[in-house]
Amino acid sequence: MITARIVALAVAAVALATACTGGSGAGSARIGSARIGTANSLGASVTGPGGSTAPAVALTTVHLVVPKSEDAAPFNKPRTLQMPRGWTARVWARVPDARMEAWTPRGDLLVSQPSLGKIEMLIPDRSGTARTRTLLRGLTEPQGMAFAKVAGHWVLYVAESDKIDSYPWGSHGIDGARTVIVSHLPDTDPSGNDVHRTKDLVVTRNGTIYFEVGSSSNASPDDLTMNPPRAVIMSVRPDGTHLTVVERGVRNGEGLALAPDGVVWTAINNRDNIPYPFHRSYGGHRDAFGMVIQSYVNNHPPDEVVPVVAGRNLGWPYCNPDQDENHPAGSLANIPFVADALTNPGGKRLDCAKLPPLTVGLPAHSAPLGMSFLDGTGIPAPWSGGAAVAAHGSWNRVPPRAPAVLWLAWNSRQRTLEPAITLVSGFQLANGSRWGRPVDVVPGPGKALYVSDDTAGAIYRLVPAS
């Protein structure tokens, strides 16, 4: 079984080698799989493969190149990004509501549009941009996509909000009727107060399809007893058999990606408006237990990046990671869980101390979405030795958590990710308004990263320094 989120890189690199301007020049990209310190927007040390630490990386202002054909708002005025020195950035295509991305076997980029019920195909052209055509329409909130080979033939998998589909893929695209692999998945819920409908997916090396089913609430235990289940990572075989709940307590694990060792990882949006969990003084209150205090909410709980482990419970909605209780305090690696003051006072529903610590945390309300590991993709070192995550930014934090593209080093000795640094920022203005919000980031031809943005309705092509 061959799987690929970016399987067509070598093919597409040939098409783009002479087409893209402002990049790193001609070159080919190898076919690959398929994303110390807290995140910041100024610079950080970079931990390379095996845990070695590279010199600090400072971010600098880079002007976003906008072709004349792509200069509608928000690109009707100059835009800049903060990126490592030597990187370039270009608007590669305009796609309204651009969400998740996947490269086809022949080197075109698929982009999902959940709110429009469509999947667009972006075909690279010789001017350094891409022309679009609609591949699928009339779907129900389609989001995640992946390619794999089944019995020697390519298949496109699509995650709709209520089902998982497969389409046979031939030399000219879809080559047959849709097969619904999994149907009647949890979708809308009138009783929910924060319904997470859209679903991502990834295919493992043995062909198993992993997908997430988000919660219907911010932090309600009712989700745990729903049938079919919510707040879980599930798996299924290509023929629709062996449908299994793999991991529970996953509030909204939209980012799914395959690590260099073949393990599936997920990036998770954690709860909002968390009450203070301790009988201690905080924020001017002698005993702040159970109070929703903005200064605490702003930095708690961290969002989560974890391997998907069969049988694991990540604790939601009873337990939350709290970096203040870590050693050293504030560290976003191996974070302990503490009981939720609202749903699990005193740890009566679940003993949070017995949960394995959170592998990696992201700053609270980062809202991680798409994630890609960059090993073997043609992206140059040190960035090839880690994973990129698109952080959508907060919706109710005061002040807002800025959207960004984050990077986490892969520690090959311990087979884990290290805490994130900011790789790309600048989408949020000083007054807190945003002109863009990244959704997904995938490596592609020309040794570049392709970043989708559902606010600007754009795909950016980011080329690292050689």
Rounded to an integer, what distance in angstroms lies between the CA atom of residue 4 and that of residue 150? 12
What stretches in the chain show pLDDT beneath 70?
1-56
What 3-state DSSP class applies to 392? coil
pLDDT for the residue numbered 340 = 98
Rounded to an integer, what distance in angstroms lies between the CA atom of residue 320 and that of residue 26? 47
Q: Largest Cα–Cα distance in the chain?
A: 68
pLDDT for the residue numbered 191 = 79
pLDDT for the residue numbered 56 = 55
pLDDT for the residue numbered 367 = 98
pLDDT for the residue numbered 53 = 41
Rounded to an integer, what distance in angstroms lies between the CA atom of residue 146 and that of residue 110? 10
* DSSP label of 68: G
CB-side exposure of 63: number of CA atoms within 13 Å?
6
Q: What is the enclosing helix (H) or strand (E) of 53?
A: strand 53-63
pLDDT for the residue numbered 128 = 85
The domains of the chain, with CATH numbers, are 3-463 (2.120.10.30)
What is the DSSP track for 438-465? EEEEEEETTTEEEEEETTTTEEEEEE--
pLDDT for the residue numbered 127 = 84
Neighbours of 63 (CB within 10 A): 11
Residue 263's contacts (CB-CB under 8 Å, 6 or more residues apart) are 307, 308, 415
What 3-state DSSP class applies to 225? helix
pTM: 0.90
Rounded to an integer, what distance in angstroms lies between the CA atom of residue 326 and that of residue 256? 26
- Cα dist from 128 to 10, 131, 380, whole Å: 17, 10, 21
pLDDT for the residue numbered 34 = 35
The alpha carbon of residue 119 and the mean position of all alpha carbons in its chain are separated, in whole angstroms, by 18
The DSSP bridge pattern shows strands 333-335 and 109-113 to be: unpaired
- The identity of residue 147, as a single letter, is F
pLDDT for the residue numbered 466 = 81
The alpha carbon of residue 70 and the mean position of all alpha carbons in its chain are separated, in whole angstroms, by 25
Listed residue (355, 144, 379, 395) closest to 248, CA to CA: 355
pLDDT for the residue numbered 309 = 97
